[in-house]
Amino acid sequence: MKKLLVIIPAALLLAAGGIWFFANQQVKNLVDMRIAEFIENGDYQALDYEKVSVDLRGDIALANLHVVDASGYEYILEDIRITDFDYANEQPQHLSLAASGIRFPGGLPRFGDSPNPALNAYLDTVMDADHLPVTFNYRYSYQPEDDRQLDTTFSIALPGSFQISSDSVMRNVSPEQFGNQAQAAGNPVGYSMMMQDADIPSANIALLDLGIVDAVMAINGGNAGLSADQYRMQLLAQLQTMLLFAPQQLQPLAQRLLAGFAEFLEGGRTLRLSIAPEFGGNIQQLQGEILGAFYIGNFNRIEEVLNLTIETF
């Protein structure tokens, strides 16, 4: 009996260790397989990582993912965590991904630059050498038995600067369309053609100011010999003047956009755009209605059919 009390727990620990090792190996194989697919499809020039592991809850950790995308931009995502991973399906029907820290070994690439020198100057102040303390969060859930609905949320944040977040609901997304989501990055035109039969009943995007507005206003103002408040007023006056040249039918929407943007420039605000389209968000019907309204200059109808909402709070 004493021997059994020692042998049985030891055997269980050995079995658990074997299962854990097997799970780690399987996850590594899965990651390597996906990387090979991305490279073969031409979505990336290079993808490699320092370490991948899975804990006893099934959560996956990926360290220092080195990326060279199709355009040649190089960066390293330092820490990636995947939770709520669907191991039951070859194409996971749900997962959550969180990533933090990004490095640019060759310096900030052009996609991070801008013709606006104020933004470049600001990014220089928040970067530590080649490191940017940005965080990403992404989650999706696909329910093929519930109107083939795909729920997606995404956010990107830079502490003390900004946070951009979005979420959307899509329906009638076929398993083939769902399985080819990665094509959105490599071939957005082809992907959009695949989604012609889908519906988008709701979607929104929001920008939260955490300090970047005042900082950029101050930088731009300093370059122009103005205070941040003076530059803010000058910018709004210039935008108001530009609106005078917009088509008459577009004036109401443009004025609402400018009013929301003006509130946002006060700092510490959130600017959010959301849609809840007619026709249940059916893409084909929306395209016909929007194009028809555009050709006759009926911009009010476009806003109406999209049920566009602009909020600042």
**Residue-wise pLDDT tens digits, 233-275:** 999 999 999 888 888 888 888 899 999 999 999 999 999 999 9
Instruction: Estimate to the nearest angstrom the gap between the alpha carbon of 22 and the chain centroid.
Output: 32
Q: What is the pLDDT of residue 182?
A: 54
Q: What is the pLDDT of residue 1?
A: 43
**Strand 74-83 with 94-103, pairing:** antiparallel
Sequential DSSP letters for 168-197: EEEES--HHHHHTTTHHHH-HHHHHHHGGG
The CA-based dihedral angle spanning residues 274, 277, 281, 285, taken in that order and rounded to the nearest 10 degrees? -140
Q: What is the pLDDT of residue 174?
A: 85
Residues of the chain with pLDDT under 50: 1-19, 185-188
Q: What is the pLDDT of residue 163?
A: 96
Report the chain's terminal Cα–Cα distance, integer Å: 69
